Structure 1
Amino acid sequence: MLSPKDRLNKVFNGEKVDRPPCICPGGMMNMVITDIMEDIGVGFPQAHMDAQMMADLAVAVYEKECFENYGVPFCMTVEAEEFGAKVDMGTNIYEPHVVEYAINSVQEWEMLSEINFQQGRSKVVLDAIKLLKSKESDIPVIGNLTGPISTASSIMEPVVFYKELRKNNSEAHKFVDFVTEQLIQFAKEQIVAGADIIAISDPSGTGEILGPKLFKEFAVKYINKIVDGIQNENIPTIVHICGQMKKVYHEVNKIKSGVLSFDSIVSMNEARKNLGDRLIMGNVSTYTIEFGEPDKIAELTQKCVKDGSNIISPACGLGMKSPIKNVRSMIKSLKKEI
């Protein structure tokens, strides 16, 4: 019987496995639900700011037989807050979100400070990874980054940011490059803390929002800079891109990540046809996980396997009111327990 870590490593290495792994990385792809928080007595928003609580929730997700990994953090606001944006830390129903931006234009990027990983929520994440790494060696620990475009558009007003990608193209590149350099350092700090895998989620860097040209010029370029920046660490990477892929498969295929992850709007069968032998992850509908029935979720899980998904995961972050029986149905389906 393969351990969760061995099974996932074999997939990354292109080796045969008994069945696809079932994971939920963290970050944008939050896996914590109310049922688990209530069961162990640890909740939001406190767990976003406390390393032990964060680690306890990540462990509970695995121990409650929801997913086969540990993953932190549980939101996409850590990096933006470290750059000076103000964040509403949310509740046990809704996730943290930016309420005040750090700068007003890409031309102000030099006002931003480098991230100090010895304080703030970046340190909470690093300490949580250390706690998770100390627990069990056969459970993969996934560290998470908010992608370059999503981080940049959380530091300043998104509509203005997207306009300035064209209007102030040179300064926009300097801004996103600065952000990317800090993300590379955050990834390296997570790896030192014990992360086995780095997942990068860039939901604001879609082909639909940017268009193929800017998607290639900004999203692909700077995601690849992160992947290249940590290649010497020999750590596998997962990149999640939201939105439809039809117009940008050619560009998506240039992303150097070991695994590409997509949301539920993307047909995994179509992705497989367009991406050849690339490793792909996903993409069980999070809407169905929250509002559907276990049998339907099991059916969607098996369809993902049939359509060529190498790793099964929810298509996006779970709704926190998703019933635990629904979340468990993915793994149960893969284990043929349903």
Structure 2
Amino acid sequence: MDLKQRLFTVLNSGKPDIVPVVSVTQTATVYQMQMTDSFWPESHINPELMASLALAGHTIAGFEAVRYPYCLTVLAEAMGCDVNMGRIDVQPSVITHPLSDKKNEVIYPDGLLNAKRVPSVLEATRILEERTDGNVPLIAGMEGPATLTAHLTGMYNFLTWSVLNPENIDSIMQIATDVCIEYADALLDCGADIISVADGIAGPDLLDPGMYESLVQPLHKRLADRIKGRKIIHMCGTALPILDAISECGFDGISLEESIDLSQASEIISGRAIIAGNVSAYRTLLSTSPENVIKESRQCLEKDVDILAPSCGIAPRSPIKNLKALVRARDEYCMN
């Protein structure tokens, strides 16, 4: 199988020739920036640099898909948040919250697809489709509705209002979901093959599992139903308490962090989605050796993970030899 056939077969719950090695979370490292002369923060903004750095995750690190962009602030900025663009090894972060006063009314942005960095990501998608000749899967990442809402309101308000004023939070998240759908479909129209939705704010490390089911799950269902292409959700932290609920939403895949036992997750998900994960991005890929990466990768493969992947966004200072060890581990396991 070629790379697209392999990944699409997995997302369709089929059996590929070998397990794909893909990152559904951010892939850029300082080494790749140096090799491509495409550095943060410029490559968060310039579509040519964004595409060159994203492609390096495939051509240099060896991942069998191209994943971009590199943060979860694109839609937040388009909806009025100010963003600190970070530095070479620090991702952008939201610094202002236009809905921090709950009396403010959330307004659907006029001309979303022309707002702030959205056109840059769309243009990078077109560039990547051309540069890969459509032969390498393109995974476009974006923040989910809960994360976008928390950016707009501020984290404290998001958590407090979820308990004390859930109707207000729901009204914001409804519009945030519509924004996510419009953006996701625009990415697919420009050539993206898969949408990766990161919505860790909705996880049980921050939000009570009951609130996930009442507040967020209906929106995740609508998001998964309305996005017109393949989609994966990445959930940070200890997601087991909500894993059954996430599995009901209709995403093709679920990406999990290293705190989740893959065998237990597979039992809960029970064929409703494929599983991507979960070699530790920080404990292993950033901080140890290729031998440890291979050891942990093998443990994931022995538990029949569908996609071998980092557990979360790759730290920018991660050694390239550790990223390459993911493919090496898969090859040694699947081809021997």
Shared fold by TM > 0.5?
yes
What displacement does 1:188 show? 0.9
Output the TM-score relative to the length of structure 1: 0.94
Cα shift readout 1:65-86 (whole Å, capped 9, x = no counterpart): 4311112211011011111111
5+ residue gaps, structure 2: none
Which residue is equivalent to 2:49?
53
Indicate conservation of the 8 Å contact 1:107/1:172, yes or no: no
- Structure 1 segment 1-338 matched on structure 2, within 5 A: 2-25=1-24, 29-111=25-107, 113-114=109-110, 116-135=112-131, 136-230=133-227, 233=228, 235-277=229-271, 278-287=273-282, 288-336=284-332
Indicate conservation of the 8 Å contact 1:264/1:285, yes or no: yes
**Distance in structure 2 (CA, Å) of the matches to 1:223 and 1:22:** 26
Cα distance change of structure 1 residues 134 and 19 upon mapping to structure 2, 3 Å threshold: same
What displacement does 1:107 show? 4.1
**Distance in structure 2 (CA, Å) of the matches to 1:324 and 1:163:** 41
What displacement does 1:225 show? 1.2
Cα distance change of structure 1 residues 201 and 189 upon mapping to structure 2, 3 Å threshold: same
**Distance in structure 2 (CA, Å) of the matches to 1:165 and 1:32:** 34
What displacement does 1:218 show? 2.3
Cα distance change of structure 1 residues 275 and 111 upon mapping to structure 2, 3 Å threshold: closer
What displacement does 1:19 show? 1.5
DSSP 3-state at the match of 1:199: strand
What displacement does 1:114 show? 4.1
**Distance in structure 2 (CA, Å) of the matches to 1:200 and 1:90:** 22
Output the TM-score relative to the length of structure 2: 0.94
**Distance in structure 2 (CA, Å) of the matches to 1:236 and 1:112:** 25
Equivalent pairs, count = 331
**Distance in structure 2 (CA, Å) of the matches to 1:171 and 1:281:** 34
Indicate conservation of the 8 Å contact 1:48/1:54, yes or no: yes
DSSP 3-state at the match of 1:282: strand
- Percent identity between the aligned chains? 24
Cα distance change of structure 1 residues 105 and 262 upon mapping to structure 2, 3 Å threshold: farther
**Distance in structure 2 (CA, Å) of the matches to 1:97 and 1:318:** 16
Q: CA RMSD in A?
A: 1.6
Cα shift readout 1:107-164 (whole Å, capped 9, x = no counterpart): 4233563452124201100000011111222100111220111111011211111111
Indicate conservation of the 8 Å contact 2:213/2:245, yes or no: yes
**Distance in structure 2 (CA, Å) of the matches to 1:133 and 1:207:** 36
Cα shift readout 1:30-66 (whole Å, capped 9, x = no counterpart): 1000111111211000000000000011111111143
Indicate conservation of the 8 Å contact 1:83/1:114, yes or no: no
Q: Quick one: which amino acid aligns to residue 249 of structure 2? A: I
**Distance in structure 1 (CA, Å) of the matches to 2:218 and 2:42:** 36
Q: Quick one: which amino acid aligns to residue 9 of structure 2? A: K
Indicate conservation of the 8 Å contact 2:243/2:269, yes or no: yes
**Distance in structure 2 (CA, Å) of the matches to 1:327 and 1:106:** 44
What displacement does 1:184 show? 0.4
Q: Quick one: which amino acid aligns to residue 90 of structure 1? A: G
Cα shift readout 1:271-318 (whole Å, capped 9, x = no counterpart): 112222231110100121001110110111111111121001100001
DSSP 3-state at the match of 1:209: coil
